[in-house]
Amino acid sequence: MTKCRGAVLWGPSSSDDLKRLFPTEESKSSEIKRYANHKTFLSDDIFDSIPPLERSIAGAAGDLRIARGSEDTDNTAATLSTLKSVHATSQPSFRVETIEIHGVGHTVTGDEDPVAVERYRNCLFQPFNK
């Protein structure tokens, strides 16, 4: 990433999360098929070939907000802490912040509590804290 002042990662999954969610070849294959049902076609080796998010975050030269919904099962609060540490260590001249929004999951539909939806929108679009 170059010439980007800041980015928001919503509901990111670390390498550890992917291993937890898809521990077997069968579970990986099942997930690939599930995506295909939605007309999104993933390569058969996606889980083995996709670069770890941690590596991308280490190279992200910009401010970074890492956020999740408290009901998200694809990642954990520890995921945010780990990713924050990676960015802070690798990019010390940029800001990094984490946010967990109570009452929403990985996919926010707008049917959730209006206060939680507003917090989600603010998370995505508010400027970084100074």
Q: Could you state, in order of their start, the residue ranges of all structural domains in the chain?
A: 6-14+52-125
- Which pLDDT does position 3 carry in this prediction? 73
Report helix, strand or coil for 52.
coil
pLDDT at 119 over 80: yes
pLDDT for 28-69, tens place per residue?
Answer: 999 999 999 999 999 999 999 999 999 999 999 999 999 999
Quickly tell me which residue has 């997930």 as its tokens: 31
Count of helix runs (H) and strand runs (E) in the chain: 6, 3
pLDDT at residue 12 in the model? 97
Q: What angle do CA 84, 88, 91 make, to 5 degrees?
A: 130
Tell me which DSSP letter residue 40 carries. -
CATH of domain 6-14+52-125: 3.40.50.1820
Partners of 63 in beta bridges: 6
